[in-house]
Structure 1
Amino acid sequence: MKLQEDVIRMIFGLKVKQLRSDKGMSLTDLATATGISVSYLNEIEKGKKHPKPSKTAVIADALGVSYDYLVSLKLNKRLQPVGELLQSNILSELPLEHFGLDMSRVLDLFATAPTKLSAFVNTLLEIARAFDLRVEQFYFSALRSYQELHDNYFDEIELEAERFSEQFQLDAEGIPSFDNLAAILLEQFNIKTQTETFSTCPELVNLRSVFIPGQDSQLLLNPALTLQQKTFALARELGFQYLQLTERPYTSTWVKVGSFEEVLNNFKASYFAGALLLNQDRLVEDVQQFFSQPRWRPELLLQLMDKYQTSPETLLQRLTSLLPRFFGIKQLFFLRFHHTPETDSFFLTKELHLSGLHNPHASFLNEHYCRRWISLTLFDKVEREAHSGETLVGIQRSSYINSENEYLVLALAQPAENRHGTISIGLLINENLRNKVNFLNDPAILTREVNETCERCPAINCLERAAPPVILEKQLWQEQVMEAIETIKRRTE
Structure 2
Amino acid sequence: MLIEDEYIRLIFGLKLKQIRTEKKLSLFGLAKLTGLSKSYLNEIEKGKKYPKTDKIILLSEGLEVPYDHMVSLKLDKNLAPIGEILQSKILKEIPLDLFGIQENNLIDIIANAPAKVNAFISTIIKIAQNYNLTRESFFLASLRSYQEAHNNYFEDIEEDVEKFANAYHLDLNKKITSTDLEEILVEEFNYKIDTEELAKHNNLNELRNIFIPKKNTLLISKDITEAQKTFIYAKEIAYNFLTIEDRLYTFPWIKFESFDQVLNNFIASYFAGALIIPKQNLVEELKTFFDQEKWNSSTFQNIIDKYNCSAETFYQRLTNILPKQFYIKNLFFLRFTHKLNSEQYKLTKELHITQQQAPHGNRSNEHYCRRWVSLNSITELEQLKKESAFGIQISSYENSDNEYIVLSSATSDPFKRDQNRSVSIGLLISPNLKKRLQFVKDKNIPKKIVGVTCETCSVKNCSDRAAEPWRIQKEQQNESIANSVDKIINTYT
2:452 aligns to what?
452
Q: Tell whether 2:266 aligns with 1:267.
A: yes
Distance in 2 between the 1:209 and 1:426 partners? 31
Distance in 2 between the 1:240 and 1:385 partners? 41
Secondary structure at 1:452 match in 2: coil
Distance in 1 between the 2:357 and 2:191 partners? 41
Distance in 1 between the 2:223 and 2:58 partners? 68
Shift of 1:62: 2.7
| Aligned residue identity for 1:400 | Y
2:158 aligns to what?
158
1:218 aligns to what?
217
Which of 345-354 and 234-243 deviates more? 234-243
Q: Tell whether 2:63 aligns with 1:63.
A: yes
CA contact (8 A) 1:370 1:454 kept: yes
| Aligned residue identity for 2:437 | V
Secondary structure at 1:308 match in 2: coil
2:115 aligns to what?
115
Cα pair distance change 1:61/1:237, threshold 3 Å: farther
| Aligned residue identity for 1:55 | K
CA contact (8 A) 2:186 2:192 kept: yes
Distance in 2 between the 1:241 and 1:133 partners? 33
Shift of 1:246: 2.1
1:408 aligns to what?
405
2:482 aligns to what?
482
Shift of 1:400: 0.4
CA contact (8 A) 1:110 1:117 kept: yes
CA contact (8 A) 2:177 2:308 kept: no
Distance in 2 between the 1:429 and 1:21 partners? 54
Shift of 1:383: 1.4
| Aligned residue identity for 2:373 | I
Cα pair distance change 1:176/1:40, threshold 3 Å: farther
CA contact (8 A) 1:236 1:270 kept: yes
Secondary structure at 1:59 match in 2: helix
Alignment of 1:40-119 (within 5 A): 40-119=40-119
Shift of 1:5: 2.8
Secondary structure at 1:328 match in 2: coil
CA contact (8 A) 2:373 2:406 kept: yes
Secondary structure at 2:486 match in 1: helix
1:231 aligns to what?
230
Which of 140-149 and 244-253 deviates more? 244-253
TM-score by length of 1: 0.95
Question: In the TM superposition, what whole-angstrom CA distance separates every residue of 1:235-279 from its partner, at most 9, and x where no partner exists?
Answer: 112212222222222122231232221211111111111111111
Distance in 1 between the 2:424 and 2:152 partners? 16
Shift of 1:190: 2.3
Q: Tell whether 2:379 aligns with 1:380.
A: yes
Distance in 1 between the 2:483 and 2:418 partners? 52
Cα pair distance change 1:172/1:137, threshold 3 Å: same
Distance in 2 between the 1:312 and 1:153 partners? 19
Q: Tell whether 2:400 aligns with 1:399.
A: no
Question: In the TM superposition, what whole-angstrom CA distance separates every residue of 1:1-31 from its partner, at most 9, and x where no partner exists?
Answer: x973332221111111112222232222333
Which of 246-255 and 291-300 deviates more? 246-255
Distance in 1 between the 2:217 and 2:485 partners? 70
Q: Tell whether 2:125 aligns with 1:125.
A: yes
Question: In the TM superposition, what whole-angstrom CA distance separates every residue of 1:279-321 from its partner, at most 9, and x where no partner exists?
Answer: 1011111111111111101112211122112110000100101
2:352 aligns to what?
353
Secondary structure at 1:466 match in 2: coil
Question: In the TM superposition, what whole-angstrom CA distance separates every residue of 1:413-461 from its partner, at most 9, and x where no partner exists?
Answer: 2235632111100000111100000000112200000000001111231
Shift of 1:162: 1.2
Question: In the TM superposition, what whole-angstrom CA distance separates every residue of 1:328-366 from its partner, at most 9, and x where no partner exists?
Answer: 111100001111222122111111011111111112111
Shift of 1:52: 3.1
Alignment of 1:4-19 (within 5 A): 4-19=4-19
- The share of aligned pairs that are identical, in percent, is 44
| Aligned residue identity for 2:293 | P
Shift of 1:385: 4.0
CA contact (8 A) 1:375 1:424 kept: yes
| Aligned residue identity for 2:123 | T
CA contact (8 A) 1:85 1:118 kept: no
Which of 222-231 and 400-409 deviates more? 222-231
Question: In the TM superposition, what whole-angstrom CA distance separates every residue of 1:364-384 from its partner, at most 9, and x where no partner exists?
Answer: 111110000000011122113
Alignment of 1:322-337 (within 5 A): 322-337=321-336
2:286 aligns to what?
287
Distance in 2 between the 1:219 and 1:481 partners? 65
Which of 47-56 and 365-374 deviates more? 47-56
Which of 272-281 and 183-192 deviates more? 183-192
CA contact (8 A) 1:383 1:415 kept: no
Alignment of 1:166-177 (within 5 A): 166-177=166-177
2:31 aligns to what?
31
| Aligned residue identity for 1:179 | T
Which of 43-52 and 436-445 deviates more? 43-52
Distance in 1 between the 2:423 and 2:133 partners? 24
Distance in 2 between the 1:49 and 1:167 partners? 47
TM-score by length of 2: 0.95
Gaps of 5+ in 1: none
Secondary structure at 1:370 match in 2: coil
Gaps of 5+ in 2: none
Distance in 2 between the 1:164 and 1:443 partners? 44
Shift of 1:223: 2.2
Distance in 2 between the 1:77 and 1:340 partners? 50
CA contact (8 A) 2:378 2:389 kept: no
Shift of 1:392: 2.7
1:278 aligns to what?
277
Secondary structure at 2:306 match in 1: helix
Distance in 2 between the 1:419 and 1:103 partners? 43
Shift of 1:188: 2.4
CA contact (8 A) 2:230 2:308 kept: no
